[in-house]
Amino acid sequence: MSAPQSATEDLPLVVACALGIERLALRGGGRSGAPGTLLVLRTGMGPRAAERSLVRTLQGPRLRTAAVLATGFCAGLVPGMNPGDLVVATETRDPRGATVCEGTSALKAALSSAVPGRTIHTGPLIGSDHVVRGPERAALRAGGAIAVDMESASTLWSAVSVGPRPVASVRVVVDAPEHELVRIGTVRGGISAFRVLRAILPAFFDWHRTLLLPRR
């Protein structure tokens, strides 16, 4: 049974990404939520841009309690990851601390239905203010993180600093320890990641609907 329209309006969904190509993928991914409930927000690249954009966007009365989901591309830290793999964050980390993500099990299940056969990794996602390569990746992995990107941690930390709300992060691996961006095959890997990102927006709506169910 779908949630009442009034409940949906009370909890809109902000899907935040950094890059134009990420927003292009999401806008081509179809719509399956109630009209007016979704805002795909391009924040700009880097943690500071993400923080400014989220704080400004969530100040308005319509989005003051909105759920926030950070998405886009990331670098995998775990050996064996491949371009097009998915990362569902259990928490995001940056120097200010960790932000716990909500509903990761429901989100993983929804993604499995949206892109069957794709590998989905769950674990901590760490933030960085620069592109991470080589030995630095190994150091982040040693700290327990499974992937790194530049905006998710700042996006979610900023979202909850404005006010309590459900938050989550889903990232698509575009490069990994055996598939770094500087190596041959980058373009092919990028196309794979773009196609996956384009396919997963319906899973975000499924996650959003679980937030609207009565709590027991």
Locate the domains of the chain by residue range.
5-212
Q: Which CA distances in Å does 171 have to 144, 150, 214?
A: 17, 11, 28
Residue 181, amino acid: L
CATH topology of domain 5-212: Rossmann fold (3.40.50)
Is the pTM for the entire model greater than 0.85?
A: yes
Look up residue 82 and give its DSSP letter: -
The confidence score (pLDDT) of residue 185 equals: 44
Helices (H) and strands (E) in the chain, counts: 8, 8
DSSP H helices, the chain, are 5-10, 20-27, 47-58, 104-114, 134-142, 152-162, 186-199, 201-212
- Cα 37 from Cα 64, distance rounded (Å): 13
Q: Which CA distances in Å does 173 have to 27, 89, 152, 161?
A: 19, 12, 14, 27
The confidence score (pLDDT) of residue 184 equals: 38
- Cα 153 from Cα 136, distance rounded (Å): 18
Per-residue confidence of the chain (216 residues) as pLDDT tens digits?
Answer: 333 334 445 689 999 999 999 999 998 755 555 545 899 999 999 999 999 999 999 998 889 899 999 999 999 999 999 999 999 999 999 999 999 999 999 999 999 999 999 999 999 999 999 888 778 888 999 999 999 999 999 999 999 999 999 999 999 999 877 666 544 345 566 788 899 999 999 999 999 999 876 544
Q: What residue has token string 């961006």?
A: 181
